[in-house]
Amino acid sequence: MATVTPDASQQELELKIVEDATCTFCGCVCDDIELTVKGHEITKAKRACVLGTAWFLNHSVDDRPSCLIKGQPASVEDGIERAAQILTKARYPLMYGLSDTTTESQRVAVSIADWVGANVDTTTSVCHGPSGMAFQGVGEVTCSLGEVRNRGDMIIFWGANPAESHPRHFTRYSLMPKGMFVPNGRKDRTCVVLDVRKTKSANTADIFIQLKPRSDFEALWTLRALCAGVELEADQVLADTGVELAVWQDLMDRMKKSRFGVFFFGMGLTMTRGKHANTEALLALTRDMNQHTRFVCKPNRGHGNVTGADNVVAWRTGYPFGVNLARGYPRFNPGEYTASDVLARQEADAAIIIASDPMANFSEPARQHLKSIPYIAFDPKETPTTKDAEVAFTVATYGINVPGTVYRMDDVPISLRPAFDCHHPSDLEILQGIEKRVQELIALEAPQAEKDPSLRPSTRLTNGGKAE
Amino acid sequence: MSKTYIIIPGRTSKQGVGINEGKFEETYQSEISVLQVSFEDMEELGLEAGDWVRVTSEYGQIEIQTKAAKKDELPAGLLFIAYGDYSSRLMGADTHGSGMPTSKGFDVTMEKITTPSE
């Protein structure tokens, strides 16, 4: 698979077509891409969007070393040894990322976290983590994207801009397709966009409602009230939401008349003041709407396998993100065990960052602390995070060089069909190496830990990472 | 005293393309290092495309070039920036018990400067 050494003389002559390749750049996970591959380069990605095309055409094999230790080229074996030493010596290791790799790699990563008693968190915590909290609080009325395609006649995007973030969302799933119960495609669907900005997505909507910034919660409760037939004061609604009551009433009337309504929501809800309370309000409104017609609600997930990360962490630990394994059993507490908090409070003393870039996206206090501790980073490309890592692995790209499974944003698992081999190892191979070495180091420490309990994290007495 | 605005960091397709080309390459760097300002606010501050401003939040400060947002995309008082190093520098670390720092819709002040200080 991913460790084949390239033979330029043979492969550069080779021209092949990969049918039904899967794009893993965003949560749409389009699996109908036709790739034209010449040697170690994809020259064409038919049916891919602008983001998918950039994804496929810019992931040729990187000529950086497969491993750097403190910025100096090193063997992968030495990198695995150093990584295992860092993780086993740490008192509060953090594992973070996981959303741009395969489900198979995520599974091994969580095993390592379990062995070393780490705090494991995914990029979910800084995108739809608040949605995860809301799902637990309210519940989720959900469906697959296939049902949206075949049934959805009222499509509402709230705080989401798929025209920029998920360019094929409209054409492949939500607006344009002719479906079983919407035979005329776009003509049978009403599209509503609610946002504080008139985004590119707003241009495709039948109805655009421009919200007052930071008023999503108030707007959602206005709709909940109208759904329940509560009379509202027009002046108050306008002051609270920046939108006339008549506009909300018209929207609610249309929603009630629809046969299959769908909310897609984005980080306009989860990243703004209110966060999980905003999402809870939307999920509660969705639930309320089912008194009148069929309505569902879906988060527009960003990274290619962030949904897989939620699934894997949940079936390994019982919780989807922000899980602490230090006591040998999982504890879930967003705000305490989420990566941004653990770093900003300067709690973690080592980290392993897999397929994500917190050095570009986290708050300054979190970034400064990450920079001050030893950490291991995995990425196919050089990023601000790999640059400051004590051990940086350049890995083969999932979906392009590496097979495996990813979960689409609607929790549907999809297989990957890689296009060409790569001389860099996959993150799965490195993670398996780290897990093996971590187990050996823990076994070596065991006699000493028997004598001195302070050296023995309770998790090491469990066998949580053992393969099922 | 500088006027207060609300800033919305967010995704753009150009930023997404830039991530694939490489985060140290021109496409990504140019996209994350420009602030979009409404036509009305550009006029009020006497800004032209490429002019520099100092943006200050409760948690950090950046100096950044501006450009006018596309027609009607931003109402007056609202600023937009693609996610990246600059937007992160303005963001606070407190997640209010959610794991998510308030990354969109927070207050900043903005003032025109002639040249960046560095």
Residue B10 is assigned to a structural domain of this protein: yes
Residue range of the domain that includes B8: 3-113
Q: What is the mean pLDDT of residues B97-115?
A: 94
Residue B17 is assigned to a structural domain of this protein: yes
Given a cut of 70, whether residue A34 has pLDDT beyond it is yes
Residue B50 is assigned to a structural domain of this protein: yes
pLDDT band at A468 (very low <50, low <70, confident <90, very high): very low
B57 and chain A in contact, CB less than 8 A: no
For chains A and B, what is the number of CB pairs under 8 angstroms? 147
Which residues fall within 8 angstroms of residue A167, CB to CB, at 6 or more apart?
A49, A50, A51, A52, B13
Given a cut of 60, whether residue A467 has pLDDT beyond it is no
Q: What is the mean pLDDT of residues A326-330?
A: 96
Residue B18 is assigned to a structural domain of this protein: yes
Backbone angles phi, psi at A310, to 5 degrees: -60, -45
Residues above pLDDT 90, as percent of chain A: 89
Q: Residue A436: which H helix or E strand, with range?
A: helix A427-451
Residues above pLDDT 70, as percent of chain A: 93
pLDDT band at A453 (very low <50, low <70, confident <90, very high): low
pLDDT band at A138 (very low <50, low <70, confident <90, very high): very high
Domains of chain A (ranges plus CATH)?
Answer: 8-57 (no CATH), 67-127+304-461 (3.40.50.740), 129-299 (3.40.228.10)
Least confident of A385-389, A406-410, A453-457: A453-457
Residue B64 is assigned to a structural domain of this protein: yes
Given a cut of 70, whether residue A269 has pLDDT beyond it is yes
Instruction: Determine the 3-state secondary structure of B27 from DSSP.
Output: helix
Pairing, β A350-354 against β A375-379: parallel
Given a cut of 60, whether residue A164 has pLDDT beyond it is yes
Q: Which of B95, B106, B108 to mutate to test the interface with A (most CBs of A within 10 A)?
A: B95
- What number is the ipTM of this complex? 0.95
Tell how many helices (H) and how many strands (E) occur in chain A.
18, 19
Given a cut of 90, whether residue A290 has pLDDT beyond it is yes
pLDDT tens-place string over residues A172-225: 999 999 999 999 999 999 999 999 999 999 999 999 999 999 999 999 999 999
Which chain A residues touch B85 with a CB distance below 8 Å? 360, 384
pLDDT tens-place string over residues A433-450: 999 999 999 998 877 766
Using the beta-carbon criterion (under 8 Å), do A50 and B13 form an inter-chain contact? yes
- Burial of A382 (C-beta count, 10 Å sphere; 0-12/13-18/19+): middle
pLDDT band at A452 (very low <50, low <70, confident <90, very high): low
Which chain A residues touch B8 with a CB distance below 8 Å? 196-197, 213
Q: What is the mean pLDDT of residues A27-43?
A: 95
B118 and chain A in contact, CB less than 8 A: no
Q: What is the pLDDT of residue A446?
A: 76
Chain B closest CA to A292's CA: distance in Å? 32
Using the beta-carbon criterion (under 8 Å), do A267 and B104 form an inter-chain contact? yes
Question: Residue A425 has which token pair?
Answer: 């190892």
Q: What is the pLDDT of residue B2?
A: 83
Which among A438, A335, A403 is positioned nearest to A105, based on CA atoms? A403
pLDDT tens-place string over residues A217-266: 999 999 999 999 999 999 999 999 999 999 999 999 999 999 999 999 99
Average pLDDT, chain B: 94
Residues 67 to 86 of B: which have CB under 8 A from any A CB? 72-75, 78, 80, 83-85
Looking at the 3D structure of chain B, how many domains does it have? Answer: 1
pLDDT band at B115 (very low <50, low <70, confident <90, very high): confident
Q: What is the pLDDT of residue A13?
A: 59
Which residue in chain B has the smallest CA separation from A59? Answer: B20
**Domain with B77 in it: what CATH number?**
2.40.40.20
Which chain A residues touch B13 with a CB distance below 8 Å? 50-51, 163-165, 167
In terms of DSSP H, where are the helices of A273-419? 276-289, 306-317, 339-344, 358-361, 364-372, 384-387
pLDDT band at A4 (very low <50, low <70, confident <90, very high): very low
Q: What is the pLDDT of residue A445?
A: 82
Residue B86 is assigned to a structural domain of this protein: yes
Q: What is the mean pLDDT of residues A398-410?
A: 97
Residue B118 is assigned to a structural domain of this protein: no
Q: What is the pLDDT of residue A451?
A: 63
